[in-house]
Structure 1
Amino acid sequence: MTVNGFQRGESGGGPSECDGRYHDDRLMLAALSTGWYAGGSRCLRMIRVTSTQTGRSVLAQVVDEWDSRRGCRDNIVDTSTAVWAALGLDTNVGEVPVSWSDA
């Protein structure tokens, strides 16, 4: 899992693929790699993200795609700072192992 900014002007770039809007990073949000994004079929649906380090799980809403066709890895769950906080993780680490499933 990596950390992403979903608000205007942050590292996430433009508005989300699912609804063309920016989103508040205080919300539980996720972007999935292209294959997992599945052509948008998971848009606005909830996924369960579980930290393999802390064992905590949270629900996050899929709002964007992490485009694997443009150089991004194909196994990334990119989430808001709220997800990191709820999982008890430090965003300064940059990348942590997680598992995820449809909720």
Structure 2
Amino acid sequence: PADPFTGWHWYNEPKKKPDPPAPKPQPAPQVPDFSRLSPSEQADVLKGYTKEALNNAILHPSAENTATFLRWQKFWTDRASMFSQSFAVAQLD
């Protein structure tokens, strides 16, 4: 093939490389409305958080991780106490 014309009337501009396509932003994960979950689903979610906190405290022992687990443990203890009280009231009726 013949060389392209060159000289002061014709010059070869560098060809621009096409811009790479911009990556599509990842959609934010949709967090379901906790209040719309069934009681069983709510309990499963809360148990999952508790188990995660326990495992994190065991595998990465620190005051912060242990305190997080203890807060979850207190949550469940308080719930059990409320259930026990409501159970006793229900038996009296």
Select the structure that is richer in helix.
2
Higher relative contact order (CA 8 A, sep 6+): 1
Q: TM-score range by the shorter chain?
A: under 0.3
TM-score (norm 2): 0.21
The structure with more radius of gyration:
2
